[in-house]
Amino acid sequence: MATQQSGTSDFINNLGKIYGMYTGGFAAFVILLAILEQVGVPNKILGFLFVGFTIVVYAMIGILSRTMQVSEYYVAGRQVPAVYNGMATAADWMSGASFLAMAGTLYVLGYDGLAFVLGWTGGYVLVAVLIAPYLRKFGAYTVPDFLAARFGGNLARFLGIVVLLAASFTYVVAQIRGTGLIAERFLGIPYDVGVFVGILGILLCSMLGGMRAVTWTQVAQYIVLIIAYLLPVVIMSAQRTGIPIPQLMYGEALQNIAALEQGMIDNGLAAADTIQRHLAPFSSTDPLNFFALVFCLMIGTASLPHVLMRYFTTPSVREARKSVGWSLLFIFVLYFTAPAYAAFAKWEVYENVIGASFADLPNWVYIWGASGKVTLCGAAAASLEAVQQACAGKDVVGLADFSIAKDIIVMATPEIAGLPFVVTGLVGAGGLAAALSTADGLLLAMANALSHDIYYRMIDRNAPTARRLVAARIILLGVAILGAYTATAAPPDILALVAWAFSLAAAGNFPALCLGIWWKRCTTAGAIAGMIAGFGTTLAYLVYTAPPPLGFGQDLIFDIQNISAGIFGIPIGFIVMIAVSYLTPEPSEEMQQLVDEVRRPSGSVVADRGRAASA
Amino acid sequence: MATSNQEGWWSRTKGLMIGCLIVWAIFGFVIHFFVDALNEIVILGFPLGFYIAAQGSLIVFVALTFFFAYRQDAIDREFGVAEDD
């Protein structure tokens, strides 16, 4: 124990050196693969090396971080410095969908897609100002743990777990599905086998060391994913504009897109009344839905348990606050690059594909057409013959003839820029890192709630440490297998599932967390009624409007899209919570003192005293 | 610690919270109501309304979060409720 402690602090003191060496090692590995490619090693082997090497490194970190201490397992011993927790949170946060499909969504939707960029960053202001530092002071192991302490016990805890599972399970299924798709595309292995490999990678990272292992793996995964995300678009920007700063230079791409759009209309390649201009706001949605979506994504961000629990790991409240800033900075790097990806890809398509004769199509169209990700005239663009057959009677490609799947914009960029396969492999490794790191965090959030909140707090309060940690691992394994099973049973569009999670978490958790900290008068009955009302309303709207088989496919209310269901549930949650609180007696003096202690940074962690007292 | 001290600290904390949320609301929502008008201004090829949604607001959010951490810590220290360094 003593040696483990000093080993840990050696590790913490040398983090900069360790991750610096890791980053250098990763760069050397990429260069080595680039050389191997030049001497003629086939792409398939390079793909396997990329995926294999990175998963082995993550698993090694996971195994080295194994622990048998409860606080290490649940909150990484509360000694993760702000900057590293920021990187881990960024990896935790940015899902496979953010990495692969965000740019594609912006490509398809133009301005309207920026709702996602705004929502998924702005929410961190709420995390920092309203919630995270206070939960850190309370010292919970899980979000339901705090709800139970503030709102009188196991009913609030149970509701917190319901919200957590509802928000996390759909989300984790999307991540597991993402790992399977990436493995399928890069390694050519069947999707089901890819899912299995992915879940193995996830479990190796999280099972032995819990939060501690996941933290240090996520830092490593952030480094891989951000390098992989930036490199192709930086090179593309240098090729197209001469300056390798895509975030500044895509203004030129935007101007070209606007000019090419006008050109297509003038040449009859696109219809003036149906073309969706990239820069035009509210062309695919109305302002009401745009802002409702921004709102739900922001509140959802501040309510997702797997994000909030990352701030339980910092050494102090002060570090927790700073850490939110670092998280947002690291997340910002990706999200302010995504619109540049979209703009450069669209520039390429409008310049070299739309209006081109079929014989002159660039090669990347066929590379991605083979798997049906690029279609022309409704058919997979597998070869020149296939395209000519599908588009019989046309001379050139019209705008409406061309379609590209939104999750390949990032992956196709290396080929569009004419870069060697090693860059494509790097992007694959980055996408995998993004999906794995988010899945790690989500699985841990669910398994921790089940093992700490249900097993330890509700079933066996006297369980010894060893048994608690064994239970935590068995539950983690069980949740992972269930997630993998669900992912292979073909769920709908990734992004839709993830967006459900935001509205559900927002309506279920946000009013209770916010008022629990900021309003002493909030009572147990109020919180419970508000959580049920908010979560219930949101879930009802999702099921009522979702197309079958998920829901009843009924008409929208006030034209609010299904994805923004939280716009009904969040205010209802607040109103019910406040109203019922006023109808019930004021919380006890002790409870008000607890709230005071949670608010005040100085003094010891609140939950630890409760734990000592009950032990 | 005196109770009035505690109340002074909490009212300053609330003030900072409200100030931060106002900035958040302006750059998260209000400024985007005027996207069409802002798009008339073009800088380096970026229509301003588009730019604010794609980058400008994000930069404000990052800066605001760090500013909040700095200000709240200063308030905590002033009222003696900060953690030990």
A185 has a pLDDT exceeding 80: no
- The pLDDT of A49-63, averaged and rounded, is 89
| pLDDT level of residue A29 (50, 70, 90 thresholds) | very high
Contact across the interface for A118 and B72, Cβ inside 8 Å? no
With residue A48 as reference, give the H or E element that holds it. helix A43-64
Q: Nearest CA to A452 among A205, A176, A201, A141?
A: A141
Of residues A140 and A507, which shows the higher confidence score?
A: A507
Please return the burial class of B14, using the count of CB atoms within 10 Å of its CB with bins 0-12, 13-18 and 19+. Answer: exposed
Is residue A308 within 8 A of residue A445, CB to CB? The reply is no
Q: Any CB–CB contact under 8 A between A324 and chain B?
A: yes
Q: Any CB–CB contact under 8 A between A86 and chain B?
A: no
pLDDT single digits (tens) A218-249: 999 999 999 999 999 999 999 989 999 999 99
Tokens of A205: 């990272």
Instruction: Give residue A24's pLDDT.
Output: 94
- The pLDDT of A59-75, averaged and rounded, is 88
Instruction: Give residue A610's pLDDT.
Output: 52
Q: Any CB–CB contact under 8 A between A94 and chain B?
A: no
Looking at chain B, which residue has its C-alpha nearest residue A316?
Answer: B83
Is residue A255 within 8 A of residue A76, CB to CB? The reply is no
Looking at chain B, which residue has its C-alpha nearest residue A119?
Answer: B28
Q: At what angle do helices A494-518 and A566-583 cross, to 10 degrees?
A: 20
pLDDT single digits (tens) B10-24: 999 999 999 999 999
A371 has a pLDDT exceeding 90: no
Contact across the interface for A324 and B65, Cβ inside 8 Å? yes
ipTM above 0.85, yes or no: yes
The rounded distance, in Å, linking the Cα atoms of A529 and A265 is 55
- Chain B closest CA to A519's CA: distance in Å? 11
Instruction: Give residue B2's pLDDT.
Output: 47
Strand pairing partners for A478?
none
Which of these ranges, A93-107, A478-492, A522-536, has the smallest mean pLDDT? Answer: A478-492
- Chain A closest CA to B15's CA: distance in Å? 11
pLDDT single digits (tens) A506-521: 999 999 999 999 999 9
Computed from CA positions of residues A173, A177, A180, A186, in that sequence, does the dihedral angle turn out positive or negative?
negative
Contact across the interface for A279 and B50, Cβ inside 8 Å? yes
- The pLDDT of A469-475, averaged and rounded, is 87
Contact across the interface for A328 and B62, Cβ inside 8 Å? yes
The rounded distance, in Å, linking the Cα atoms of B1 and A54 is 53
User: Pseudo-torsion of CA A98, A103, A109, A115, nearest 10°?
Assistant: 50
Residue for token pair 């890819």: A194
The rounded distance, in Å, linking the Cα atoms of A575 and A20 is 50
The rounded distance, in Å, linking the Cα atoms of B21 and A126 is 8
Q: Where are the domains of chain A?
A: 2-241+282-342+420-614, 265-281+343-416
| Most confident option among A68-82, A240-254, A420-434, B10-24 | B10-24
The rounded distance, in Å, linking the Cα atoms of A587 and A581 is 9
Instruction: Give residue B75's pLDDT.
Output: 95
Instruction: Give residue A490's pLDDT.
Output: 60
pLDDT single digits (tens) B45-61: 899 999 999 999 999 99
- The pLDDT of A128-142, averaged and rounded, is 93
Q: Calculate the average pLDDT of chain A.
A: 88
Instruction: Give residue A9's pLDDT.
Output: 75
Q: Nearest CA to A104 among A325, A369, A410?
A: A410
Question: Residues of chain A with pLDDT > 90: what percent?
Answer: 51
Contact across the interface for A295 and B27, Cβ inside 8 Å? no
A522 has a pLDDT exceeding 60: yes
- The pLDDT of A118-147, averaged and rounded, is 94
Strand pairing partners for A396?
A357
Q: Nearest CA to A452 among A160, A152, A81, A169?
A: A160
Instruction: Give residue B1's pLDDT.
Output: 47
The number of CA neighbours under 13 Å toward the Cβ of A419 is 23
Instruction: Give residue A198's pLDDT.
Output: 84
A interface test, pick of B12, B21, B62, B70 with most A CB neighbours within 10 Å: B62
| pLDDT level of residue A612 (50, 70, 90 thresholds) | very low
Is it true that domain A2-241+282-342+420-614 has CATH number 3.40.50.800?
A: no
Which of these ranges, A394-403, A521-530, A592-601, has the smallest mean pLDDT? Answer: A394-403
A145 has a pLDDT exceeding 60: yes
Contact across the interface for A121 and B54, Cβ inside 8 Å? no
Instruction: Give residue A378's pLDDT.
Output: 87
Look at strands A374-376 and A379-380 and give their pairing.
antiparallel
| pLDDT level of residue A7 (50, 70, 90 thresholds) | low
| pLDDT level of residue A611 (50, 70, 90 thresholds) | low
Of residues B14 and A468, which shows the higher confidence score?
A: B14
The rounded distance, in Å, linking the Cα atoms of A427 and A432 is 9
pTM score: 0.93
